[in-house]
């Protein structure tokens, strides 16, 4: 990677303040900048770093007005964070892609492998599988029988795709994730025993989904567990059988979603959110970290916090009262004593 400030500004349609010919060959956080590095400033909390950073070029928002001298060349754009993300994508795409099939990979004769595929060491592709063009299957990946993987997918080391699951195009799955393991289905029997209910459905993951490391998505009891187009899942998430996640929903780490729950599109969940089973979350719902949702969310674009989760404004008001509970307890005790004293008089 080596670009001039002028080339970067042209790509981003930005305005240059400083030397358009200065060259960058690396990216760095603004507080760790060095000569030849490109950084960005989006959060005002970090503004003080721009006056001392050693980075050669810094992306800033168009409305940024420095209060002191800035040594770095500035490129002003509509949104510095989004612009920086676009540049990182450009850098990532410029890296050479692995190709070819490693001799230790096992591919069943009935499997169909698309053009330009990379299949790493000790990967396994089962019977009647279809692997699309330009897919990357890294070492120790397992793809079960009758599964379909669309064009341009990336399965990182140790990913396990159980039988009959379907992935769309441009899906990225990070290391250690398991797609299509059995849903948690057991029927109570006499003498406190449980009978396993066979899980005969599958998992369907639509186009341009990204799934983090060590995520588990259970196959449906019947039908499909569905992850809709554009969904982004963080690491260490559990999605149970027959769940449906709507388009472009984003979910942070350690969230758990119980069976048969339906999540709408454009939702955002913080870390460690828990959803009960057989409920419906409408479009645009935002749920704060560690919140619990025991029932349906019916109002679109709600912002919820706490357990059981309530409107964020109500939760913040309750938090103020909660912090004052020790003080209120002392006052109540004093009032009770005063009332008892008055009764005796």
Query: Active-site positions?
Result: 241
Distances (CA, A) of 116 to 14, 18, 109, 126, 303: 36, 43, 18, 19, 45
Distances (CA, A) of 280 to 190, 215, 296, 329: 32, 22, 5, 39
- Count of CB atoms situated within 10 Å of the CB of 76: 19
Strands 202-205 and 224-227: parallel
Q: How many CA atoms lie within 13 A of 340 on its CB side?
A: 6
**For the chain, first and last CA: distance in Å?**
88
Contact by Cβ (8 Å): 269, 302: no
Q: Which two tokens stand for residue 130?
A: 């279809």
User: Rounded to whole angstroms, how far apart are CA atoms 244 and 197?
Assistant: 20
Contact by Cβ (8 Å): 207, 169: yes
Contact by Cβ (8 Å): 312, 303: yes
Nearest by Cα to 242 from 260, 263, 228, 257: 260
Nearest by Cα to 217 from 195, 230, 197, 233: 233
Q: In Å, how far from its chain's centre is CA 263? A: 15
């Amino acid at each position: 990677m080596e670009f001039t400030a002028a080339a970067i500004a042209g790509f981003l349609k930005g305005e240059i303040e400083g030397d358009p010919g200065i060259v960058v060959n690396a990216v760095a956080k603004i507080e760790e900048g060095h000569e030849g590095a490109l950084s960005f400033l989006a959060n005002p909390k970090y503004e003080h770093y721009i006056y001392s950073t050693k980075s050669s070029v810094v992306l800033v928002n168009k409305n940024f007005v420095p209060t002191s001298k800035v040594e770095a060349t500035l490129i002003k754009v509509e949104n510095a964070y989004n612009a920086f993300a676009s540049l990182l994508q450009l850098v990532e795409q410029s890296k050479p892609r692995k190709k070819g099939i490693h001799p230790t990979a096992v591919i069943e004769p009935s499997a169909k492998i698309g053009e330009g595929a990379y299949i790493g060491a000790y990967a396994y592709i089962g019977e009647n599988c279809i692997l699309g063009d330009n897919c990357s299957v890294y070492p120790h990946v397992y793809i079960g029988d009758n599964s379909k993987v669309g064009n341009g997918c990336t399965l990182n080391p140790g990913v396990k795709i159980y039988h009959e699951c379907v992935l769309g195009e441009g899906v990225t799955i990070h290391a250690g994730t398991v797609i299509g393991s059995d849903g948690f289905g057991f029927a109570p029997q006499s003498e406190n025993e449980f009978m396993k209910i066979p899980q005969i459905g599958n998992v369907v993951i639509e186009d341009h989904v990204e799934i983090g490391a060590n995520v588990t998505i259970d196959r449906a009891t019947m039908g499909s567990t569905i992850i809709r187009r554009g969904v982004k899942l963080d690491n260490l998430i559990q999605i149970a059988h027959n769940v449906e996640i709507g388009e472009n929903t984003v979910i942070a780490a350690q969230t758990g979603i119980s069976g048969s729950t339906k999540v709408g599109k454009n939702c955002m969940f913080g870390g460690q959110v828990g959803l009960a089973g057989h409920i419906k979350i409408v479009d645009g719902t935002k749920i704060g970290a560690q919140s619990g949702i025991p029932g349906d969310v019916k109002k679109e674009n709600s912002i919820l916090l706490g357990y059981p989760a309530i409107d964020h404004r109500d939760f913040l008001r309750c938090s103020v009262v909660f912090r004052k509970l020790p003080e209120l307890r002392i006052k109540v005790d004093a009032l009770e004593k005063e009332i008892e004293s008055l009764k005796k008089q």
